Structure 1
């Protein structure tokens, strides 16, 4: 079976639930804490190319986003999103699961089991 990569924030309960789902399924995964081991711009572009959804979906619209001064039109394209997340990994949605040629944002939690099946 193909390797699964989980872009993980251990402080997030949804992210922890995704890691637990991988383990409960007896699957092998590489779990990467994207805050302590940030992705490069090129790595984010690779994730975006595999993403089920729009590039801007990867950016959290939370208080950190508001404090950053960014606007939605500044995180609309793959290039913009990759640049922003490489510079500010705390703005990344979590968790992100990657398997083969596909990537999903594991939010809500109910998306994860179908992706792992």
Structure 2
């Protein structure tokens, strides 16, 4: 079972979702802007991705530029920033078991299929 943290307004997210649908894999779709992951869920996702929390931040977002650009935050502070502002979370994220990938490019999801 796959879980995709999805934003239907994002082309890369829609493309990743399409690859999963074409594969026939069972999945759960989480529209993370409507149902943001908790701090604990974010920690688990980041661990499965094998990255630092700052690596999951969308640095092109206005809120990043206004509030966070040029700042040095701890891992917990980055996670709190994403929890409070889910638009900052890179998308899409696909999780399967103890592994996860960011669908940029969308073909990354094939590692989990």
Q: Which runs of 4+ in 1 moved over 4 A?
A: none
**Contact between 1:48 and 1:55, CA under 8 Å: does it hold in 2?**
yes
- Following TM superposition, by how much is the alpha carbon of 1:112 offset from its aligned partner in structure 2, in angstroms? 1.9
TM-score by length of 1: 0.86
Q: Which residue of 2 aligns with 1:98?
A: 95
Q: Which residue of 2 aligns with 1:66?
A: 65
In the aligned structure 1, how far is the partner of 2:27 from the partner of 2:37? Answer: 17
Matched, 1:116 2:112: yes
CA offsets per residue over residues 66-117 of structure 1, 9 Å max, x none?
02x213522x52x23321111000011000010010111111223122x233
* Unmatched tracts of structure 1, length 5 or more: none
The secondary structure found in structure 2 opposite 1:93 is coil
**Contact between 2:16 and 2:109, CA under 8 Å: does it hold in 1?**
yes
* Unmatched tracts of structure 2, length 5 or more: none
TM-score by length of 2: 0.89
Equivalent in 8, 11, 33 of residue 10 of structure 1: 8
Root-mean-square deviation (CA, aligned residues, Å) is: 1.4
**Matched residues, number:** 111
